[in-house]
Amino acid sequence: MRSGDALAGVRRGAPNGSTATLATLQQAARTRGQVWIGYVDGHGVAGERVLAPTQIGGGVVEGADAVSGEIHRVPLHRITSIALVDG
């Protein structure tokens, strides 16, 4: 799957904020869905990724990348935006 394909089903206009971020991640983990996240890394560089969250806790979300299948860990405080991915 190409990265553009992974973003095709993103629901636009999802609420931001720590409570909404956590709720969105928990919903995706419960339904075995995917989320698109925008984040800033430790060097201040912005990025984005589509993940299927498997674990949320200790201030971190862990999940499989939709494109590569690799497991990634993203600190919750580094997430700047989030949206559920349809389909």
The overall average pLDDT reported for the chain is 86
User: For the chain, what percent of residues have pLDDT higher than 70?
Assistant: 79
Laid out side by side, the sheet with 60-65 consists of 71-75, 60-65, 46-57, 34-40, 79-85
Render pLDDT for 22-58 as a digit per residue (tens, 0 to 9). Answer: 999 999 999 999 999 999 999 999 999 999 999 999 9
pLDDT at 71: 97
Structural domains in the chain, sorted by start: 3-85 (2.30.30.100)
Question: Residue 67: what pLDDT?
Answer: 93
